[in-house]
Structure 1
Amino acid sequence: MQLFFEYLGENWVDLLGLTYDHIVMVALGILMALVVGVPLGVLAARNRRLGSVILTSANVVQVFPSLALLVLLMIVFGLGFTTVVVGLFLYSLMPIIRNTYVGLTQVNPAISEAGRGVGMSPLQLLLKVQLPLSLPFIATGVRVAAVIAIGVATIAPLIGGGGLGREIYSGINMDNPARLYAGAIPAALLALLTDFLLGWAQKRMNLSR
């Protein structure tokens, strides 16, 4: 561990840059998944037949081996940042779609009926009543997706991406445990911190309901 701390002290600026790259890749993937996943979750909740198709398709992507998926994406998008972000987007879709779907289906029908009774349009009912009540479920989906994405992003260097995975694979290739730990430990801490912060936000949402 002494070598690890020495390496950390000498290269902390570079490690901060890699951590920033890691966070940017994950954040963009999650943001794209939210923009696409929430509407798909709404469609799934509105139409059960279409919903089964959407959920099954997203589930197929979720169970696809991460490295295999990134290699396939590399054929289309080439090496680098874009391929990693698209891969993280695809891996983040399933938790967000499913939790949006579950959240909307758990809304008390009496509340929806009351909204219709006061003259709300379907869009107003969705935006002002149903989605706000579903936020804790959606937050759970984001929480799960973020932790998964942080882990998947560590293999980004294999397809030309950046992030903390560079230190991990450099450490493996050079038989340098200090470099390996310098990538793996911050990645693990980042996942734990993300899970804690999103879990805290989720509890706040539950308390405000």
Structure 2
Amino acid sequence: MAEALHFLQINGSELLYKTWEHFYISFIALFLGIIAAVPLGVLLTRMKRGAGAVIAVVNVIQTLPSLAILAFFIPLLGVGKVPAIAALFFYSVLPILRNTYTGIKSVNGNLLESGKGIGMTAWEQIRLVELPLSVPVIMAGIRTSAIYLIGWATLASFIGGGGLGDYIFIGLNLYQPEYIIAGAVPVTLLAMITDAVLSRTERKVTPNGLKGLKEVS
């Protein structure tokens, strides 16, 4: 306990900065992933062929080692936060894309026909029917992606991206457990807080009718 307090006295401000840095890198990658994956998931539901192939390609990208993705971006973007965010963006896409596609495909076809019957355009059906009804499934993908990114963002320190991974790798290289704990514990807390916030957001954006169905089930 005394050692932990001593560490915080010396490195407290730096720890706060690295925690913010870690969150910033993860959040930007997640935001870019949402912007790319949700529209792409909607587009895939409109494709009669090729949707499975696109998801399979994204699946393959997801299986590539994190360090390999980071190394791939170094010749293109150099070192620092930009290549780290770009690499994390690739990892953010699959859960959101897959859940968007699954959620929209599971919307009751009778509702879509009703929408057409009252004169809804394709865009109005997406905006007013499909996306609202798919919110719980899409948000589940976003939550999964967010938790993954917060964990994977520790590897950003390998290419000068900063974040809490700096402490973890300093501790591993110098055999100093206090640095490992100082990096690992905030990462865990950050993941838990992010999941709780996104869970609350999911409840707020889910239509009231769907909330009732979830409670009954």
- Report the equivalent of 1:173: 173
Instruction: Point out 4+ residue stretches in structure 1 off by more than 6 angstroms.
Output: none
TM-score (norm 1): 0.95
Work out whether 1:96 is the aligned partner of 2:93. no
**Cα distance in 1 between the residues matched to 2:206 and 2:123:** 24
Alignment of 1:57-136 (within 5 A): 57-136=57-136
Offset at residue 205 of structure 1 (A): 4.3
User: Structure 1: any 5+ residue segments left out of the alignment?
Assistant: none
- Report the equivalent of 2:9: 9
TM-score (norm 2): 0.91
**Cα distance in 2 between the residues matched to 1:10 and 1:140:** 39
Over the residues paired in the alignment, what is the CA RMSD in angstroms? 1.4
CA contact (8 A) 1:4 1:178 kept: yes
Aligned residue pairs, count? 209
- Report the equivalent of 2:201: 201
Counterpart AA for 2:59: N
Counterpart AA for 2:14: D
Deviations 1:185-205 (A, max 9, x none): 101111111122222333444
**Cα distance in 2 between the residues matched to 1:140 and 1:41:** 14
CA contact (8 A) 1:4 1:181 kept: no
Deviations 1:149-178 (A, max 9, x none): 001100111111110001111111122111
Percent identity, aligned pairs only? 38
Offset at residue 73 of structure 1 (A): 1.5
Deviations 1:114-147 (A, max 9, x none): 1111000101111111111111111111100000
**Cα distance in 2 between the residues matched to 1:5 and 1:74:** 38
Work out whether 1:191 is the aligned partner of 2:199. no
Offset at residue 5 of structure 1 (A): 2.9
Cα gap change, 1:199 to 1:63, in 2 (>3 Å): same
**Cα distance in 1 between the residues matched to 2:2 and 2:95:** 40
- Report the equivalent of 1:145: 145
CA contact (8 A) 2:132 2:207 kept: no
**Cα distance in 1 between the residues matched to 2:113 and 2:7:** 62
CA contact (8 A) 1:40 1:54 kept: no
Counterpart AA for 2:2: Q
CA contact (8 A) 1:26 1:146 kept: yes
Cα gap change, 1:43 to 1:207, in 2 (>3 Å): closer
**Cα distance in 1 between the residues matched to 2:77 and 2:53:** 26
CA contact (8 A) 1:4 1:179 kept: no
Aligned to 1:49, the other structure's residue is in SS state coil
CA contact (8 A) 2:147 2:194 kept: yes
